[in-house]
Structure formats: C-alpha cells, structure tokens
Amino acid sequence: MDAAVATRPLDWLADFPAIPEGWAYLDSAATAQKPVPVIEAITRAYGVSYATVHRGVYQRSAEMTLAFEASRRRAAEFINAAAPEEIVFVRGATEGINLVAQSWGKANLKPGDRILLSTLEHHSNIVPWQMTGAEIDVVPLTDDHRIDLDAMAAMIRPEHKLVALAHVSNVLGSVLDAKRAADIAHSVGAKLLLDGCQAVPRMPVDVRDLDCDFYVFSGHKLYGPTGIGVLWARHEILDAMPPWQGGGAMIDKVTFARTTYAPPPARFEAGTPHVVGVLGLHAAIDYVEGIGLDAIAAHEAALVNEARDALRGINSVRLFGPEDSAGIVSFAVEGVHPHDIGTILDESQVAIRAGHHCAQPLMDALGVDATARASFGVYNGRRDIAALVRGIERVTRIFG
C-alpha cells in the first residue's frame, strides 16, 4: 500500500467522534459513521435555524427554504443530474425504489410485462417489484461473482419493461458495468434503475454518462443522516409519473370534487419533509467531495487488496466476490457460523456485519446461509485490517 494512502485516513479518523480509540468499525456498507461537519450541520439546523420549508412567509422559514433547495441543487450536482427538479428527496433507497414501483410501475406495467433483476440484489430491489405483480426474471452471476451481462443480453426481450440492478453489490462489492447494462436494457426499450447505495460513497457517479433512467441512494451510507435519500429520474419520466402519496405540498389545488398535482419533484414529496436530514445530506456530500471520490476509491481499493491478501493466508477462510471489489470483503470461516465470528470479533473491538445482508437469494446462489462482511470507509486503515486478522485467527483457535 502506498505510504500516503496508509497515513491519510488517520486525519480523516479524527473527524469521526463516534469511533473511539482502538475500535475497528468495519460495517460501513450497513451504515457509515458521521463526520463532525455533518453532526454540526444537523445540530445547527435543529438548534439555531430550524423552521419549516415551502410554507412560512417569515424570514427564518424563507431562509430554511433557500437552504433546503440549495441542498437539492447540491445533490443534483453530485450525480450530474440535468436539473435540480430531477432530484426527489425520499427516506432512503428503499423508499425510492418503492416510489418507482408504485408510481411508474402502476402507470406502465401491464399484464404480461416482465422485470429483469440479478441474483445479487438487495431485498429492497426485489420485493417492491414482486408487489407490482409483474413477472420477474433473474440474471445469473459470473464465476467471479459479477452480474453476467452476456447472460443478460441473451435473456432480455421486449416484454421486459424495466431492469433494476445494484451499481455495487452490498455483499460482494462487485461493480456493475452500468453503461453496458443501460445499452442492453434500452435495446428492447426497457428502463434501467440502478441501486447506488454502495456506489456513491466510494466512486464518482454521473447519471447522464451512465445513461440510466432511475438512480437511488441513501444518505446514511454516504456519511450523512438516516431517514434521507435521493431518487433521481429523467425529467420527462418524472413528469409522466402519477403521485404515489397524497397530502400537503404535493398539490396544485384541492377541492372535494377534484385535486390537481404539483409538478415534480414536489408531486412526490407529500407532507413536511425531513428538512434537517436534507441539510445533513448536503454537508455529507460536501465532506466526501472535499476528500475526493477518486481518493476514497483508491484508499478503499488498497484496503480491500490488503484485507483479501491477509485473509487468504488463513487456510479455513473462504472469500467471496471479485478481487477488485469496491470497499467490501465478504468471507466465511469453515465450520463457524458468521454470527459466532461477529460475536468473537466484537470481543476484540472489531465490528463487522454477519448474516444474509438482506440478500437471501444471493446466499442460496453462493451455497451458504450467511457470510461475514467487512466493509471500509474513509476512517479505516491498516490498523483495522490487522485487528480483523487477529480476530479471525482467534476464531480459528477457539473453533479448532
């Protein structure tokens, strides 16, 4: 590992007060820790400048509305959306996918239509599509645990109206060739939705360059608050979609006889929004771009390489995912349940995820009930890999 890469995260670690000295937090794929600028933005919003948005005529409400909409512009810039109006604030990626399924799906899916998913999808990119009633086909994985786009090209047909894929797998860390996936989807007139939860914290994302039609991500995996996320879609697609929830803020005019709806994105943001979460998301975007997403990607790639090499040296460890996985290393220890691995590591102050990671179909495909998963963030360094390896060695001693 380059020496500069090894030492730089020590400065970043100081930004994260919830990580005490000696604790190796390796569960960023589940949720990332929060840096001081994000915490301060949330505290300031609640403690100094709090007010509702889009409603009050008093100065503080007007100022908060300006800050709220500035955050929308910031999110649009972050993923290179064509306009801020293409950004819909949601509670997270799960809500964003459900919004598309219930709104776009309700308006566009007819009997006989099909949806194409992949074996490695998170449950939140499976269940909402099942709830539409459309038939689902599943793209298999390659031998090195990537979505098999050759198989996808062979499978897709005009009955497929939507393809929904993870940009980066939350279990395997495998990165999708999203531009090729878009070409395949569009070849039959299908729309492409990308689940970007694991992509936006660790690599630059340009939705126009990717040529996708929908993109979703959650703030809390991006070092931001929980309860806030983004759905992006092309303006012409959003404009044709009906609202999926009714209430305040999403209307043009209401009478007991008839209601007309506001244009996007307001049409999809019923009720009082998570104002403080939106401002916290703005701070999180500023934070990661202040470091540089290319720098984050290089940092995590170095950590993944070192972790895989170290774990490969333990005979009873089985690794999953490709060698160039993005910030995530999933593994199993022969004869030891991942929950036991997680418990023993916790005793050594190493926090990992153990379980099916909301990806039970993938576990079936891998032939396991669960895996252990170490996932990295900007605050991690070699010391954390060393702690992980010591913990795994202790696991093997305990279980023989």
Q: What is the CATH number of the domain that holds 262?
A: 3.40.640.10
pLDDT at 400 (0 to 100): 77
Which region holds residue 41: left if phi is over 0, alpha if psi is between -120 and 50, else beta?
alpha
- Cis previous bond, 37, omega within 30: no
One domain for residues 51 and 174 = yes
pTM: predicted TM-score of the whole model, two decimal places:
0.95
One domain for residues 328 and 285 = no
One domain for residues 16 and 50 = no
CATH of the domain at 305: 3.90.1150.10
Q: Is the pLDDT of residue 281 over 70?
A: yes
pLDDT at 31 (0 to 100): 98
One domain for residues 80 and 126 = yes
Per DSSP (E only), the strands in 140-280 are 160-166, 191-195, 214-218, 229-233, 251-254, 259-261
**What residues are labeled active site?**
358
The two three-digit tokens of residue 71, written as one number: 């955050």
Q: Is the pLDDT of residue 11 over 80?
A: no
What CA dihedral angle connects 45, 46, 52 and 57, to 10 degrees?
A: -70
Residue 198 CB contacts under 8 Å (≥ 6 apart), including other chains = 29, 166, 167, 168, 169, 170, 173, 221, 326, 327, 328
pLDDT at 105 (0 to 100): 97
| Residue 64, CA atoms < 13 Å, CB-side half-sphere | 28
One domain for residues 202 and 326 = no
One domain for residues 286 and 296 = no
pLDDT digits (tens, 9 = 90+) for 190-236: 999 999 999 999 999 999 999 999 999 999 999 999 999 999 999 99
Domain boundary among 248, 269, 290: 290
pLDDT digits (tens, 9 = 90+) for 163-196: 999 999 999 999 999 999 999 999 999 999 999 9
Position 7 confidence tier, pLDDT thresholds 50, 70, 90: very low
Residue 151 CA to chain centroid, in angstroms?
25
One domain for residues 233 and 298 = no
Domain boundary among 290, 317, 338: 290
Provide the domain limits for residue 7.
3-34+292-399
Q: What is the mean pLDDT of the chain?
A: 95
pLDDT at 261 (0 to 100): 95
Average pLDDT over residues 15-25: 96
One domain for residues 166 and 182 = yes
One domain for residues 272 and 325 = no
How far apart are the two ends of the chain, measured CA to CA in Å?
32
One domain for residues 8 and 63 = no
pLDDT at 371 (0 to 100): 98
Tokens 């301060």 belong to: 40
Domain boundary among 262, 290, 318: 290
Tokens 């179909």 belong to: 361
pLDDT at 6 (0 to 100): 40
Position 5 confidence tier, pLDDT thresholds 50, 70, 90: very low
One domain for residues 184 and 169 = yes
Number of domains in the chain: 2
One domain for residues 119 and 213 = yes
